[in-house]
Amino acid sequence: MITSGVRVVNAGLDLITEGVPDALQLDWRPPAFGDAEVARLAAGLDVQATRSANDQAISRVHSARPEWTRTVRAADALPVLSEGRTLLYAGPPIKWERMCDPVRGALVGATLFEGWADSPDGARGLLASGAVTLSNCHGHGAVGPMAGVISPSMFGFLVEDGEARAFTTLNEGLGKVLRFGAYDESVLERLRWMRDELGPTLDAVLRQGEPVDVTGLIGQALAMGDEGHNRNIAATSLLARRLAGRLAALGASPRVFAFLAENDHFTLNLSMAAAKLAMDAGRDVPGSTLVVAMCRNGVEFGIQVSGTGDRWFTAPVGPADGLFFPGYSIADANPDLGDSAITETLGIGGFAMAAAPAITRFVGGTPADALAATASMERITMRRHPAYPIPATGFRGAPSGIDVLKVIDTNVLPVINTGIAHRQAGVGQIGAGIVTAPAGVFLDAVRGLAEAARP
């Protein structure tokens, strides 16, 4: 017996319900963003084989326990940097000619820092000439925030889990910094200080005691308002408090203490390296539709997928819209940039927004939006990360492991918290916001997965 009123529910074209009062219009679109060919290719994949491959891939990711074991020169962690002149940058592969200004600026700065040129023009000429090999971080077990430039002498975080390792630079703080393309003397002086004092001191601290369980640190910080990408003050404070005694015992300088006390994003790079190590553990499982990398080079957005090896699926990327610092607007913004989306790839950052309601004041939106963002990411991910419970969602784990097929099925795109760089090298950060990955990379990934599945 129908006791309540009958209502019209429509999934599809608005036209059908025009004139029907109170009809509930569902936000339905055909899957694969309307691309029937990709929908057919996705439907053609072997469901059982995909499920089994994904179980294996995501289990590996969730079993990773990256520890911050050492702070070393990049050349000592990354063989590609150990001889000749090579620099790494963020995002999918790109040639010098097509690079955006902030990345070029950062490469100029790194060239000057390494002493390969003695003026910005000289550095630019050297880089344009091809005399310095340019390669992307992700291709070498590394990640870098924003421009993401890594040069041989830079000190950085080494995280390890058994034989597995990942590397990234030390976070420089805010203001004029290399990762936004700045390369004036203040930037180079800081890099030298990080190389000569901060890096070696942090390494001595690690050798003096236990390594740092980065998964545990981030897990604790998610209960303290961090999401591990745009908000890192809890993890940084916990870490600085824990290391303070060791630093004091080593006679660390006031500048080291001040740097740790004043840089609220110190642990961002650490969580990036840990996420990189974890996601690399999920690579190269034949048939798996797990996204193992998302990144941007300021021109293109790129992803890699477990079942398609080192192949990049890319699409043009625009600037993030969000909240701009006074005096700036989206007209000043560089297209989205950096390897930091490796945090979302793992399930923190934008995926864990529910953990960080305070961040909504910084990137726009409300705490309800934060809960909605995390709930929405549950629709496109494989599991909840057991090490990252979020108090506000009843301690459910952060949604973890993007499944290309779920993105295609739901038309829901991954959300990414991001800083916004000025389009001119060296101006620096001008805002922060939330971006979604472009649909095209997931459509291409399905094509790639279908190709790989062909006998």
* Residue spans of alpha helices (H) in 97-228: 101-113, 120-129, 185-193, 199-208, 214-222
| H or E element that contains 382 | strand 381-390
What's the Rg (C-alpha) of the chain? 22
Q: Tokens at residue 39, please?
A: 């929908």
CB of 416: closest distance to a second copy in angstroms? 21
Could you give the CA distance from residue 70 to residue 212 in angstroms, rounded to a whole number?
A: 10
Nearer to a second copy, 358 or 412 (CB): 358
Nearer to a second copy, 5 or 115 (CB): 5
Q: Which residues pair with 297 in a beta bridge?
A: 337
Nearer to a second copy, 5 or 455 (CB): 5
Is residue 315 near a second copy by the rule CB under 8 A? no
Nearer to a second copy, 2 or 15 (CB): 2
Could you give the strand order of the β-sheet that contains 313-316, starting from the edge strand earlier in sequence? 313-316, 300-305, 291-297, 337-338
Tell me which stretch binds a second copy (CB under 8 A): 223-231, 291-299, 325-333, 338-346: 223-231
With 0-12 / 13-18 / 19 or more C-beta atoms within 10 angstroms meaning exposed / middle / buried, residue 27 is: exposed
Q: Tokens at residue 381, please?
A: 């991910």
Query: Are the C-beta atoms of residues 172 and 37 closer than 8 Å to each other?
Result: no
Provide the mask over 254-273, with x wherever binding to a second copy is found by CB under 8 A and - wherever it is not: x--xx-xx------------
Nearer to a second copy, 151 or 267 (CB): 267
3-class DSSP state for residue 116?
Answer: coil
Phi then psi for 169, rounded to 5 degrees? -70, 170
Is residue 245 near a second copy by the rule CB under 8 A? yes
| H or E element that contains 293 | strand 291-297
Nearer to a second copy, 325 or 395 (CB): 395
Could you give the CA distance from residue 385 to residue 417 in angstroms, rounded to a whole number?
A: 19
Candidates 233, 315, 372, 453; binder of a second copy (CB under 8 A) is: 233
Residues 363-382 touching a second copy, rule: CB under 8 A, are: 366-368
Nearer to a second copy, 116 or 193 (CB): 193
Residues 381-400 touching a second copy, rule: CB under 8 A, are: 391-395
Candidates 26, 36, 128, 248; binder of a second copy (CB under 8 A) is: 248
Is residue 207 near a second copy by the rule CB under 8 A? no
Tell me which stretch binds a second copy (CB under 8 A): 299-307, 352-360, 410-418, 429-437: 352-360
Q: Tokens at residue 289, please?
A: 């539709």
Size of the site for a second copy (CB under 8 A): 34
Nearer to a second copy, 204 or 244 (CB): 244
Candidates 75, 358, 372, 412; binder of a second copy (CB under 8 A) is: 358
Residues 18-37 touching a second copy, rule: CB under 8 A, are: none
Candidates 111, 360, 381, 400; binder of a second copy (CB under 8 A) is: 360
| H or E element that contains 417 | strand 415-421
Candidates 252, 275, 337, 398; binder of a second copy (CB under 8 A) is: 252
Q: Tokens at residue 360, please?
A: 């909504």
- For residue 350, give the nearest of 363, 366, 336 by alpha carbon: 363
* 303 to 121, 228, 300, 408: CA distances (angstroms): 33, 20, 10, 14
Amino acid at 12: G
CB of 232: closest distance to a second copy in angstroms? 11
- Please report, as ranges, the residues that interact with a second copy according to CB under 8 A: 223-225, 233-234, 236-238, 240-242, 244-245, 247-249, 252, 254, 257-258, 260-261, 357-358, 360-361, 366-368, 391-395
